[in-house]
Amino acid sequence: MHNNDANTVGGASSGANAGAGGASAEAAGVAGTMEMATASSTAGSADAAFAEALSALRASLGREPDHVFLSYTDAYDIDELARATAALPASVRVHGSSSCLSVMTAAGIHGAGGPGLALF
């Protein structure tokens, strides 16, 4: 398993990310700080890999994530991953994508030639 510390990015969003009319996220009342972390697992089962990576992601953030981007190799059972994400609190938004070769985090490439799962 690989895990990176959370990174904090301060300030309002840039013009490219501004809402309609050019208003920044901060002006709209949204906090101007975003925390990001990455975690991965190459455990053999989807359940174990998701649990391992989620535990590391929570530890890096120090809390439940608000949004999870899930990337996984096709070695994992999609139904197991669907059940794992459905067990997250309703407040956690999930976006997922599959990869036929590997997944990548800030720590590198995982699952080349086998199972690999990454969470952001």
Domain count, the chain: 1
Residue 20 lies in a domain: no
Residue 1 pLDDT level (bands cut at 50, 70, 90): very low
- Copy the structure tokens of residue 50: 């998701």
Asked if residue 6 is part of any domain, the answer here is no
**Cα-based torsion angle of the residue sequence 27, 33, 69, 119 in order, rounded to the nearest 10 degrees:** 180
93 or 8, which is more confident: 93
- Domain range for residue 71? 36-119
- 112 belongs to a structural domain: yes
**Domain for residue 82, yes or no?**
yes
Residue 50 located in a structural domain: yes
Is 59 a member of any domain? yes
In a domain, 86, yes or no: yes
Judge if pTM exceeds 0.75. Answer: no
Using pLDDT thresholds of 50, 70 and 90, give the confidence band for residue 35.
confident
